[in-house]
């Protein structure tokens, strides 16, 4: 259950950041004459948000040994069967994690039915230390 709460914390923090950026962007658009480009601006914004989400998970995997803010708050320590996290491992883990967040209903069902483990942990042989 701690794992689920840690994921919720990460998602809530990202959505708060996302909401602040949207409000700032809307304020800039409303104070200028950029109404014609609003579709282009928001398409660009969506691409930037996906890049930021990818960067957040990748940096947490590669630099901080998979410790996101949610895992630090919930005091969860992942254990990998590798000595040092490599670039390729962090990249694949991040891609799988973003895919899992897009398909969150399926991920939640898997998490609840498979002894509180995420499917990407099974794929990458990650265990959580108690």
Residue with tokens 């409303």: 30
pLDDT in tens, 58-116: 888 888 877 888 888 988 877 766 666 688 888 888 888 888 888 888 888 888 888 77
Task: Give dist(CA 94, CA 115) in Å, integer.
Answer: 22
pLDDT band at 28 (very low <50, low <70, confident <90, very high): confident
Listed by start position, the domains of the chain span 2-129
Helix ranges restricted to H, 31-86? 38-62, 69-73
- Structure pTM? 0.72
């Amino acid at each position: 259950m701690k794992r689920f709460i840690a994921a919720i914390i990460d998602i809530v923090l990202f959505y708060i950041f996302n909401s602040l950026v949207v409000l700032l962007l809307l304020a800039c658009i409303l104070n200028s004459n950029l109404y014609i480009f609003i579709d282009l601006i928001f398409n660009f914004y969506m691409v930037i948000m996906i890049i930021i989400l990818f960067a957040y998970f990748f940096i947490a995997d590669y630099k901080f040994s998979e410790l996101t803010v949610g895992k630090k708050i919930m005091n969860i320590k992942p254990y990998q069967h590798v000595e040092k996290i490599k670039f390729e491992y962090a990249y694949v883990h991040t891609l799988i994690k973003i895919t899992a967040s897009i398909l969150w209903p399926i991920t939640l069902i898997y998490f609840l039915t498979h002894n509180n483990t995420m499917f990407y942990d099974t794929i990458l042989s990650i265990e959580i230390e108690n």
